[in-house]
Homo-oligomer: A and B are copies of this chain.
Amino acid sequence: MKIDGKPYRTIWPVDGAVEIIDQTRLPHVFATVRLTTMEEAATAIADMWVRGAPLIGATAAYGMALAMAAGASDAALDAAHDRLYATRPTAVNLRWALADMVETLRPLPPPERAARAWSRAAEIADADVATNHAIGVHGLALFRALWEGKGRPERLDILTHCNAGWLATVDWGTALAPIYMAHDAGIPVHVWVDETRPRNQGASLTAWELGRHGVPHTVIADNAGGHLMQHGLVDACIVGTDRTTATGDVCNKIGTYLKALAAFDTGVPFYVALPSPTIDWTIADGLAEIPIEQRSAAEQSHVSGLTADGRVETVRLVPEGSACANYAFDVTPARLVTALVTERGACDASRAGLLALFPERSPA
């Protein structure tokens, strides 16, 4: 998407190196970083200069290319895989991208591996862009129908939670892809951006990327969305997902369930955008079967921001001696989800709905 008029992806090759945006410095500082070695790519993943499953996968793929450029023996191939895999071993896309790279490169003679690694990494990045573009097209159709059904009002209010934007992918994003397309198509979208405590991905990343592309938006406390929906100030919600069950339950950033409840209570459509690899076809009951990660209590007790004199400072919010807990995700039951929006189209949040789009997953 655009940053102040100039098109960007979140990762791009330049002269035998790879450039990324250092997302740890957003929203207060926009800085790109050039990665010239596999080790630098590993650091970029481990230290979360890049985040979001698809972008992590693409960065790992380019990390393999950087490794092959420095030396393409079988031993180097295995060492690069293992080093990059160790950065964030629970990331599914990371594992998948690294396995793909090894599978692609190992059959080749070492002298051919570097060139193929660069081209395969680019294919992986382009495939993510294509998937998200397709999600955007299907979501745009839903937004357009809403807008036209309401008589083309001067403002179409969309609420989103966390960051499922282009910063989390190679381009477009998942939940934000239909928003960017609607904006670019002249539909007057305005986005209510949930702050998304405790890590504030909405207030920092979503607000930043929408603002840089020029999409009107307003940051609100996570507490506010229900009130807005009660008063007719939200036309639809759209969020991403970390994991979706075969029955349509949605595991996403903590607080998603509360917004889905409010949407259901007030008759507001609640959409979930997802690339199909996030569907876990082995799980039927999200609430019972998906373990919820607890992260550091310090993310809740402390927060970072920009001081009046331009320094980034971390401050403590809670009194000494008070414990904090930090649950990272929750599960929104399928009954609260209006539709899942995948790269193949939108469907009911149900096993039947998903199988209609992905018939190859039907039991034999």
Binding site for B on A (CB under 8 A): 26-28, 193, 195-198, 200, 203-204, 207-208, 210-211, 217-228, 230-231, 253-255, 257-259, 261-262, 265, 287, 292, 300-308, 312-319, 321-327, 329-331
Contacts and interface: CB of A to CB of B under 8 A. Distances in A.
Contacts of A223: 196-197, 222, 253-255, 258, 330
Contacts of A28: 316, 319
Q: Which of A220, A292, A307, A312 has the most CB of B within 10 A?
A: A220
B322 A303 contact: no
Contact of A221 (B193, B207, B231, B254): B254
A193 B325 CA distance: 10
A325 B222 contact: no
Contacts of A204: 317-319
Given A198-B221, A219-B318, 7 more contacts: A27-B318, A197-B221, A211-B322, A219-B322, A221-B255, A303-B303, A315-B315
| A-B pairs with lowest CB-CB distance, top 10 | A223-B255, A305-B315, A27-B319, A227-B330, A207-B322, A197-B221, A261-B261, A258-B258, A306-B316, A226-B257
26 contacts: A27-B318, A28-B316, A196-B223, A200-B317, A208-B319, A210-B322, A211-B319, A217-B323, A218-B323, A219-B301, A221-B300, A221-B326, A221-B327, A223-B253, A223-B330, A225-B258, A226-B255, A226-B261, A230-B257, A231-B287, A231-B292, A261-B265, A303-B305, A306-B315, A306-B316, A313-B313
